[in-house]
Structure 1
């Protein structure tokens, strides 16, 4: 069995696409997924599955969610091992951050093109920083996430892939829950 984390994009934000986590958990359980649990209202579902094809599993989850709620939700899957590696590979050391700094990870649905990465990297600035590694973008915010140029929507437009963003504390909590 593989432990997966489903990162749902665009639900429970500004009163749009509202889904109660206990009901969402039931949708996952109805798919015969194992040890299903959610993390607060954070749009994340942890579960276990013998399915090794993440793309197939993602499409199946998206179809079940659309059937249950009558709207589409993008799901980005990562395994527990992938999340652990994402934490290990972080180019910013959380213990070295200033008190006003915040760290985020944007999870991409697929690898962006080299051209899109180059164009995005050319937009770096002195205010906030980001680093792209495979299907993740690490974002170091020196002020507030709401004030950064490197928002989820910005990354989607520049990289031309779907993304969903989580703060560093949530990423670490998901790993902790996955291990537990």
Structure 2
């Protein structure tokens, strides 16, 4: 059975570092045998179809292919359309009434125990808020991610040591759901 997936690449095409042209990313995915390939924006979002049901194997294969093609490593997460829809549907914030720049989802490579976030004094960052979901963290930042003190605190490497994490704004979250519908 063929499944629609999104590949979420971490930290590419930011400030001139780790440049991965989207046309070449589509080529790499095609060389891996995937079909129905498309990219969204320049920030490392690709969708494709595969007969595999192993997200981790798909991500590992893509990471290796990117390193071979471009000469540098890039962390990748691969998530199926149903998962992406479930994450969007489970949003604990009123997404429909917020600007896309105010709401973000950080996708994780594995579940995150709430204890990892214990060092964060959530009340100190209000009105900014976060909630954990299924291998995801929802962040409400009323002034946007660039001005968010909570996002800065959540970005501390020690909080998510050993876990791959990559963040997308709400517009991208919704678009990836749309692009991965069967």
- The two structures have a TM-score, normalised by structure 1, of 0.90
Match of 1:149 in 2: 149
In the TM superposition, residue 39 of structure 1 has moved relative to its aligned partner by 0.8
Structure 1, 137-146 or 149-158: larger mean CA deviation: 149-158
- Point out where structure 2 has 5 or more consecutive residues left out of the alignment: none
For structure 1, the 5+ residue unaligned runs are none
How far 1:136 moved relative to its partner? 0.4
CA contact (8 A) 2:101 2:169 kept: no
Q: Deviations over 1:5-43 (max 9, x none)?
A: 000001000110011100110010001111111112131
Counterpart of 1:84 in structure 2 is 85
CA separation of 1:155/1:134 partners in 2, compared to 1, >3 Å: closer, same or farther?
farther
Cα RMSD of the aligned pairs, angstroms, is 2.0
Secondary structure of 1:130's counterpart equals strand
Is 1:105–2:94 an aligned residue pair? no
Q: Distance in 1 between matches of 2:76 and 2:34?
A: 15
Checking the alignment, whether the CA contact within 8 Å between 1:156 and 1:162 is kept in structure 2 is no
The residue correspondences of 1:43-122 to structure 2 (distance < 5 A) are 43-97=44-98, 102-120=102-120, 122=121
CA gap of 1:20–1:101, structure 2 versus 1, over 3 A, is closer
Change (3 A) 1:101 1:46: closer
Deviations 1:55-84 (A, max 9, x none): 111111110110000100000111100011
Contact kept, 8 Å, 2:12 with 2:43, in 1: the verdict is no
Aligned pairs (5 A) from 1:1-12: 1-12=2-13
Bigger Cα displacement from structure 2, 64-73 vs 48-57: 48-57
TM score, norm. by length of structure 2: 0.89
Rounded Cα–Cα distance in structure 1 between residues aligned with 2:138 and 2:114: 17
1:179 corresponds to 2:168: no
User: Contact 2:12 / 2:18 at 8 angstroms: preserved in 1?
Assistant: yes
Aligned length: 178
Q: CA deviation at 1:177?
A: 1.9
Contact 2:9 2:75 in 1 (8 A): yes
Query: Secondary structure of 1:4's match?
Result: strand
Do the aligned residues in 2 keep the contact of 1:155 with 1:163 (CA within 8 Å)?
Answer: no
